[in-house]
Structure 1
Amino acid sequence: MFRRSKSESAPETPETTSATTDASARTTPGKGRPTPSRKEAEAAAKARAKVPRTRKEQAAAARVARAENSAKVREGMKAGDERFLLPRDKGPVRRFIRDYVDSRFSFIDVIVPVLIVTMILSYSGNQTLAGIGSTVLMLTVLLVIVDMIQLRFRVRRQLAQRFPGESTKGTTWYAISRAMQMKFMRMPKAQVKIGQQLPEHYR
């Protein structure tokens, strides 16, 4: 006697109910965009928790950031990265000087062992041995001085060949001051080995 409407005549199936439930779960009422998953919500909560809120937390975060930046700068300087070098170390001329000095054997590297031997001989109580130790030390110092003089002329000759027209102001002192340091103490760190052939071009 009575006709059922279309909505009444179409019974809900499990598939229809499941699809409706999934659709409502994926969207936020009134926003029309997917609801964040549990994993995304947890990640967002952690990110909010990490944001420094108090002055003490902000100061701690600033210290951590400065420490990380300082470590990055030190590593860049050690590797010879131009972005982190001091102005005195920048440029192809200074990079060549560093490589040239580092590729040479320097008598400064034997100063420490000679000093140790000299001290041992001096405290041995034997005047002859003490005299030998002092002589060896003086000869080593003399060799270092001669080596620095040779380095000065050789560096200037190399610069004239490789960088014609470039200013050489301060290059002699730069080369000597680096050569006067033992290799493991030099900064930026040596990028070449002793006796290694250097590139033809540094530009």
Structure 2
Amino acid sequence: MFRRRIQTPVDSPVPVTDPKLGTTPGKGRPTPKRSESQGRRRSPMTAPSNRKEAYRLQRDRDRADRTRAREGMLRGEERYLQPRDRGPARKFAREWVDSRRLPGQYFLPVMLGIMILSMLPFPVEVRSIVLAVYSVSVPLVLVLVIPSSLYTSNKVKKEAAAKFPDENLKGVGFYAAMRALQIRPLRYPKPTVRPGGIPIPPKN
């Protein structure tokens, strides 16, 4: 009298009829779990077979970390900088120095050029002239460099104090003066502005 109803399982896929073919295509395989799908997408991790291989992999990782840190330091990224280079006041000091042509940056090239000239095998007459120029140029360059360094130190410290009143400015003036004595291509972190304050576009 009462017929028994046929219940379809809840998790059974509902058949879909293709109107073009007139048939019901089947999946042919069970639906994979999410964890299984993600596991297939991940690259397989192979453990080192021996201690030598483990050391090699560790050296490769350390080398990649050092390269990444060095490139980040050259770009001036805060997390890769040395403690003496960190902070907005130190960044301001670097940009202040790098945006100007100061006499101090020519100190080392001039001294190096004069030293090389003094060691070349010139004739006696020419050599005596070179040595005389060397003996006169050293105090002359120092006379130009010392006032420039004092000016740079005081100026940077004054402007940094006005721009960053809540920052610790201890040593920021000396930091700027020492950077001003360095040859521009050898400065670290690398300059981010050209003389005149024009930003240097980052390298790809």
TM-score, structure 2 as length reference:
0.68
Aligned with 2:85 (options 83, 86, 89): 89
CA distance in structure 1 between the partners assigned to 2:41 and 2:31 by the alignment: 18
Aligned residue identity for 1:57:
E
Shift of 1:90: 1.6
Alignment of structure 1 residues 60-71 onto 2, 5 Å: 60-71=56-67
**Bigger Rg over Cα:** 1
Aligned residue identity for 1:155:
V
Q: Which has the higher helix share?
A: 1
Aligned residue identity for 2:71:
E
Shift of 1:143: 1.2
Which structure 1 residue ranges, 4+ long, deviate > 4 Å from structure 2?
A: none
Shift of 1:122: 6.6
Please report the RMSD computed on the Cα atoms of aligned residues, expressed in angstroms.
3.3
Shift of 1:73: 0.6
Q: Structure 1, residues 120-151: CA drift from partner, whole Å, max 9, x if none?
A: 25753232343123212321222111211111
Q: Structure 1, residues 163-200: CA drift from partner, whole Å, max 9, x if none?
A: 234332121222122222211222111111112169xx
CA distance in structure 1 between the partners assigned to 2:99 and 2:56 by the alignment: 44
Structure 1 gap ranges (5+): 1-14, 35-41, 199-203
Aligned residue identity for 1:91:
G
Alignment of structure 1 residues 40-79 onto 2, 5 Å: 47-48=44-45, 50-79=46-75
TM-score, structure 1 as length reference:
0.68
Range with greater deviation from structure 2 (160-169 or 179-188): 160-169
Aligned residue identity for 2:44:
A
Aligned-residue identity in percent:
30
CA distance in structure 2 between the partners assigned to 1:108 and 1:167 by the alignment: 26
Q: Where does residue 101 of structure 2 map in the other structure? A: 105
Aligned length: 169
Q: Where does residue 183 of structure 1 map in the other structure? A: 184
Range with greater deviation from structure 2 (124-133 or 177-186): 124-133
